[in-house]
Amino acid sequence: MKTKSYIRFSSRAAHLDVDIELADVLKISIQAGMLSAAGNQRIFDKVNPQQHPRLASRAKTSESRKLAANHLKATLCEAFIKNIYEDATQYILEILTAAAKKGLDPNRLIGEHKVSFEANDVLRAGTWDKVVSMVAQSVFRKLENEKSTKNLLEKINSKLNLGVSQAKIDAALPYLEIRHLLVHADGKADQKFCESFPALKATPGKKLKLDYALLQQARISICELVNEYDQKIVAGNVVLPNELQR
């Protein structure tokens, strides 16, 4: 059995894989000259000046094609890291909410993260399940606002009493943290990142190279972590049966 949240996460991860593979196929095809016939006056065969004015203005050279292909792949690689981070945190929000609906001990759910709501907001929620969802989402946002992915992962692990391996968290953490570099520092590593994750061999002030090997390791580490969360959730009967699927 798996949670429906995990199935959604896995499906989105598979779509991200396809995007990266497609970018690689396009890059290989471009380098092989498959998209640019000898007599064509544009950078690529199917470029239409009305539809693709910027591409139409590019020089018809192998270097120009190479730059276009590399930029496309780099953009998709950045999107991969950002999206898999968002998908992983969405999974965590969903399982925290599902655990709260199952009847998670309020002291464990809330802990030090005190939350309060206006009476009107509670009344507008309409049902107890929606009130519980509001509380769980508020706790999650407070965890997010601490701006520490490590704390988020470890505190969810503790709140749900899952016993997820610290080694799994540590293995996925550097790849989740790359997302913050992309969003807040144009992909450039700072001293703290370099010291915290020496295995990535990042250089302070330089952009981290998002190559295929790094993305593969990111996918493996993050997916293995989410899978372990899910196995612990199912084994520990943390969510209601209607949240599960074979």
- For the chain, domain boundaries: 2-245
Q: Which residues contact 152 (CB under 8 A, 6 or more apart)?
A: 89, 92, 143, 144, 146
pLDDT at residue 128, rounded to an integer: 83
Q: What is d(CA 78, CA 83) in angstroms, rounded to the nearest whole number? A: 9
Quote the pLDDT of residue 108: 82
Q: Between the CA of residue 192 and those of 32, 154, 189, 202, 221, what are the distances in Å?
A: 41, 20, 8, 11, 21
Q: Under a CB-based contact definition with an 8 Å cutoff, are residues 100 and 22 in contact?
A: no
pTM: 0.89
**Dihedral sign (CA 134, 135, 139, 145):** positive
pLDDT of residue 179: 95
In the block, residue with structure tokens 């470890």: 154
pLDDT of residue 10: 96
- What single DSSP character describes residue 198? G
Q: What was the pLDDT predicted at 174?
A: 96
Residues of the chain below pLDDT 50? none
Say what the pLDDT of residue 130 is. Answer: 84
